[in-house]
Amino acid sequence: MKHDIFKDKVVIITGASSGIGRAAALEFARHGSKVVLAARSADKMSALEEEITLMGAEALSCVTDVAVEDDCRRLIEKTIERFGTIHILINNAGISMRALFDDVKITVLKRLMDVNFWGTVYCTKYALPYIVSNSGSIVGVSSTAGFHGLPGRTGYSASKFAIHGFLETVRIENLRKKLHVMIIAPGFTSSEVRKHALTADGTEQGNSPREEKKMMSPEFVAKWILKGIRKKKRNKIMTWTGRFTALLQRIIPSVVDYVYYLEMKREPDSPLK
Active-site residue set: 156
Contact call for residues 212 and 195 (beta carbons, < 8 A): no
The alpha helices in 31-100, defined as continuous H runs, are 42-54, 69-83
Q: How far apart are CA 218 and CA 184, in angstroms?
A: 13
Helices assigned H by DSSP within 55-135: 69-83, 106-112, 119-133
How far is the C-alpha of 60 from the C-alpha of 96, rounded, in Å? 27
How do 59-63 and 88-91 pair as beta strands?
unpaired
- Quick one: which H or E segment has residue 242? helix 240-248
Which residues have C-beta within 8 Å of that of residue 184, sequence separation ≥ 6?
139, 140, 141, 142, 221, 224, 225, 228, 233, 235, 236, 238
What is the end-to-end Cα distance of the chain in Å, rounded?
58
3-state secondary structure of 53: helix
3-class secondary structure, 118: helix
d(CA 32, CA 122): 27
State how far the alpha carbon of 114 is from the alpha carbons of 8, 54, 95, in Å: 32, 35, 10
